[in-house]
Structure 1
Amino acid sequence: MRTLVIGDIHGGLRALEQLVERAKITSDDKLVFLGDYVDGWSGSAQVIDYLIRLKEENDCIFIKGNHDVWCEDWLREDLSHPVWLDHGGQETVESYEGYSIATKKAHLDFFEAMDLFHIDDANRLFVHAGFTSMHGVSREYDIRGFYFDRTLWEMALTLDKRMPKTSEKYPHRLRHYKEIYIGHTPTLHYHKYEPMNAANVWNIDTGAAFTGKLSAMDIDTKEVFQSDSVNYLYPNERGRNK
């Protein structure tokens, strides 16, 4: 059985379907999704439909991202944050046109059931963005850090590779877990088109919301699977390329 971790989808249903096919995912595979399922391409509501069905066949873990928090608020109370609408939320609202109240409620239940983080039996942490507490996720003061923080990734990137983990200067945040898997910060920012590794942190967000690809990684072998560049799959849309 494989465990695959999957990066930010941002409404790219075509990319998700292509990725599932290319990775040859079967019901034997465990799937960990790192969040941001919506906002960007035109298939946000349809991505949630797909994931709900997928959960019936696979052992799935769904981590909540910041875009999911915004969409959840909208589904629950019709709260449309201006920031959300300007960052893909408008496309998500449009994707729900024609959806019944009952189906929207089922989607809300799906969002509300998502985890803010997951730690597996091998002490590997999965979280959308990061965390700030030097004591680990169980001591995080503000839960918004789980889906907004970028400092964990920035710290890992700048860490001197020569520094041993036994050093007093080695970041305490990184010592708690064997590996940490995140999304949230597209690797396109660093001109990289595949998942990136820094220290024991793996960034799986390869920019599917923009001009990048949707990626999955086998966490044991580190084999990477990718869709086509998502903007090619939606030639008449801009996604979040605005």
Structure 2
Amino acid sequence: MGVFMTYVFGDIHGCLHSFNTLIELLSPGADDVVVTLGDYVDRGPASKGVIDRLLQLQEEINLVTLRGNHEIMMEEARKGPPASSFWKLNGGIETMASYGGRSLKDVPQSHWDFFDQLKPHYIEGEFLLTHATPPFDKTVEDCDDEDLYWSRFRDLKPRKDGLFLICGHTPQEDRSPALESGHVCLDTGCVHGGFLTALTLETGAYIQADENGELRDGKLDLSLPKS
């Protein structure tokens, strides 16, 4: 059997150029798995393009797509105010511009179907992957939407279920992945002038790209904390 890799991407937020750069560099093979942690839309320039690209990749590679809070806000915006106003204040205006700037009716049904199939979490071996940072003392089965999509990267202790958490959602000011107490945050602020990060679970190596084509790399120690 060949060796496969699991590549985990932080928050993309419409940064299609950075995402395409990393996919091209990593060139995932047929046995590899690519996991995206959510927040594909809002704030960045190419939300529609990101969803189109993910739909294309679903036909080509083993792609696991998680739900982020920005996908939730966009879906809620279909109900009209106040949800639509809240979404627009949080990056929805830029998303609508990528669809032509008129109405949510311009969003293709295939994109709403994509949102419907997003997963709340994913487990690969000893790693738990979620969008946000669920409490260390809750199993993923006991988590609610607040835990999975909105909770921030703070108050961290080794998880009681023994899993190593990989998440996004909380932009890191130094634009590097954060590692603390068996938790890694991969939101490195690409849409805020930082980098998009892709982490390889099997090695701890990561690579970053920004919208201007700059690249960085590094490595994290992904061994579980000693109890």
TM-score normalised according to structure 2 size: 0.83
Residue aligning to 1:18: 21
Partner of 2:145: 143
Matched, 1:62 2:65: yes
- Residues 1:226 and 2:208 are matched in the alignment: yes
CA contact under 8 A between 1:124 and 1:177: conserved in structure 2?
A: no
Local SS of the residue matching 1:145: helix
For the residues of structure 1 that align with 2:128 and 2:181, how far apart are their CA atoms? 14
1:164 matched residue in structure 2 = none
Q: Paired residue for 1:209?
A: 191
Question: Aligned equivalents of 1:114 and 1:221: distance in 2?
Answer: 26
> Which residue identity is paired with 2:180?
A
Choose between structure 1 and 2: higher helix proportion. 1
Residue of structure 1 in register with 2:224 after alignment: none
Structure 2: unaligned runs, 5 residues or longer: 214-227
Provide the identity percentage.
Answer: 32
Query: For 1:178-189, what aligned pairs fall within 5 Å after superposition?
Result: 178-188=163-173
Is this contact kept in 2: 1:4–1:216, CA < 8 A? yes
From 19, 33, 36, the equivalent of 2:36 is 33
Q: Tell me the matched-pair count.
A: 208
Q: Report the counterpart of residue 166 of structure 1 in structure 2.
A: none
Equivalent-residue separation in structure 2 for 1:7 and 1:202 (angstroms)? 10
Local SS of the residue matching 2:113: helix
CA apart distance, 1:29: 2.1
Q: Is there any run of 5+ residues in structure 1 with no aligned partner, and where?
A: 160-170, 234-242
Deviation at 1:45, TM superposition (A): 0.9
Relative to 1, partners in 2 of residues 1:179 and 1:132: Cα closer, same or farther, differing over 3 Å? closer
TM superposition shift of 1:177: 3.5
Aligned to 1:15, the other structure's residue is in SS state helix
Supply the distance in 2 between the matched residues of 1:15 and 1:103 (Cα, whole angstroms): 23
Q: Which residue of 1 aligns with 2:100?
A: 97
Q: State the distance in 2 between where 1:135 and 1:100 align.
A: 36
Shift of 1:226: 1.2
In structure 1, how many angstroms separate the alpha carbons of the residues matched to 2:131 and 2:36? 9
Distance 1:227 1:38 in 2: 18
SS at match of 1:186: coil
Distance in 2 between the 1:132 and 1:178 partners? 12
Paired AA for residue 181 in structure 2: A
How far does residue 24 in structure 1 lie from its aligned partner after superposition?
Answer: 2.9
* Structure 1 residue 101, shift from structure 2 partner: 6.1
Normalised TM-score (structure 1): 0.78
TM-aligned CA distance change 1:37 to 1:3, over 3 Å: same
Alpha-carbon separation, structure 1, partners of 2:186 and 2:69: 16
Q: Distance in 2 between matches of 1:209 and 1:112?
A: 24
